[in-house]
Structure 1
Amino acid sequence: MIQGLYETHIQVNNLENSVRFYTEVLGLKLAHMDETRPIAFLWIGEGKSFMLGLWEQKENLQPRHFAFSSSKEDILNYSVDFLKKKDLKPYNFLKDGIDEPMVFAWMPALAIYFNDPDGNQLEFISVLEGEGKPELGVISYEEWMKHQ
Structure 2
Amino acid sequence: MTLSLPDASTHSSPILDLAGLTLEVNHLGRGVRFYGQVLGLPLLHLDETRQVAQLGVNPAQTLTLWRPVTRQANEPWLAPLRARGGSHVHYAFQIRPEDLPRCRDLLTAHGLPWQEINLGTPEAPDPTLYFFDPFGHGLELRAVNRADPRQPALPVPEEPLQAQPHALPVLGLREVALAFGDYGAMTARLPRAYGLALAKEQPDRDFAQFTLGPAPEPDGNGTPRRWLYAWDPQVGLADMLGGDHAHVTFYADVAAVAARVRAEGLPCVAQGERLAARDPEGHVFEFRPLP
More relative contact order, 1 or 2 (CA 8 Å, 6+ apart): 2
Provide the rounded CA distance (Å) in 2 between the counterparts of 1:120 and 1:4.
22
- The whole-number CA distance in structure 2 between the counterparts of 1:50 and 1:104 is 27
Please give the alpha-carbon distance, in whole angstroms, between the structure 1 residues aligned to 2:46 and 2:115.
31
Structure 2 gap segments, 5+ residues each? 1-13, 71-85, 149-201, 203-220, 222-291
3-state SS of paired residue (1:3)? strand
Say how many residue pairs are matched.
118
* Contact kept? 1:110, 1:127, Cα under 8 Å: no
**Higher helix fraction (1 or 2):** 1
Matched, 1:126 2:143: yes
Distance in 2, Cα, partners of 1:33 & 1:127:
31
Does the CA-based 8 Å contact 1:109-1:127 persist in structure 2? Answer: no
Structure 2 partner of 1:90: 114
Q: CA deviation at 1:26?
A: 1.4
Superposed CA offset, 1:51-95 (max 9, x none): 001011379x821111111111212x2121110011111113xxx
2:89 is the counterpart of 1:72: no
**From 33, 45, 68, the counterpart of 1:57:** 68
Work out the CA distance in 1 between the residues paired with 2:45 and 2:69. Answer: 21
Q: Which residue of 2 aligns with 1:103?
A: 119
Give, in whole Å, the separation in 2 of the partners of 1:73 and 1:102. 16
1:112 aligns with 2:129: yes
Aligned-partner SS, 2:134:
coil
Point out 4+ residue stretches in structure 1 off by more than 3 angstroms: none
Match of 2:35 in 1: 22
* Identity between Structure 1 and Structure 2 (%): 35
Aligned AA (1:66): Y
Flag the 1:58–1:120 CA change in 2: closer, same or farther, 3 A.
Answer: farther
Larger radius of gyration: 2
Aligned to 1:81: 105
TM-score normalised to structure 1 length: 0.69
Shift in CA distance, 39/104, structure 1 to aligned 2, threshold 3 Å: farther
